[in-house]
Chain A
Amino acid sequence: MPQQSHEQGLFFEADVAGVDLVKLNQQLIKRAEGRGIDDEVLELFSLGTIKGRHAAKLSDPLAILTHQSTLSLSFPIRSHRRTIGPVLVVGKKVVRNLLRWLLSPILTQQSKWNHAAYEVHVHSLLVLEELERRVQELESQLESERRP
């Protein structure tokens, strides 16, 4: 169970009238223990969950994939031209609004495709890293069995 490094074994503090804080802390710790959640479950969790040489190489492109997978028409329209700039901005906004009926469904469809592609990539990467890990394990097992 979790390490209790705090005074009196309190894992939370709250000032609520009529609540015995120490007692409630103890009750909840006991109940959490009774859930049978073992440490192995928690080992699933860590940042950089996909570890391995392929994941290290692919982390930047994966970040781009996830961040730019949703396409939207709501991007800022600007112009740096001093005099006709405001007119250009209005013109571009009008064009965008006129084409919205056509572009929106296409962008939605493409976004869905991008999200699915991202999931497939991550899943494949997870499988690949797991297979490599397993191969390494088996290789070292074989190596140790070959040794006299």
Chain B
Amino acid sequence: MRELALHLLDVAQNALEAGATRLAIEIEEDLAADRLTISVVDNGRGMDAELLAKVRDPFTTTRTTRRVGLGIPLLTAAAERCNGKVEIASQPGQGTAVMATFQHSHIDRAPLGDVAGTLVTAILAKPELELTYRHRVGEREFVFSAAELREQLGDVPLNLGPVIQWVREYLSENIAALYETDETNASPTSNVESQDE
């Protein structure tokens, strides 16, 4: 997969298929430690120790009963290529937590890609999902909660055309703002032209 956001979507989709009603996604870009961490925590049906032990095996498919096929092995390979790893903790009936780490500056690390597109896809997959998203880049942070949107929207569902388009732009803009350099935030007075000629 060409983007980490696509791996993220895959893990999120697994969570939904495991019956999750709550999904907490976090991306932390710790530039000082040169580390990128993606974590996905769900309250789905979880996995027992036996399945958890087999989940990295690409030939384990539990498609009809629970979760995971080729997705976790692909993510693990992507993380390990970049001096990182994938950790999975799960408890039957409690949920599953997947955490992938990468060396942020590693040449083989795929770009994060369209995270907003991934989040919107998860919302469309399950509009009533309690989705939270936290993204940190150095000192900056963006926090999103689907519940907050629903509060504003009342009885209008999140998956309605114009609403979901708005959500996508809202997410893209706020995530892009995390990467803005200081020059673009420069004070507007710096553009004032001198009037004394």
Do chains A and B stick together as partners? no
Enumerate chain B interface residues (CB-CB to A < 8 A). none
Enumerate chain A interface residues (CB-CB to B < 8 A). none
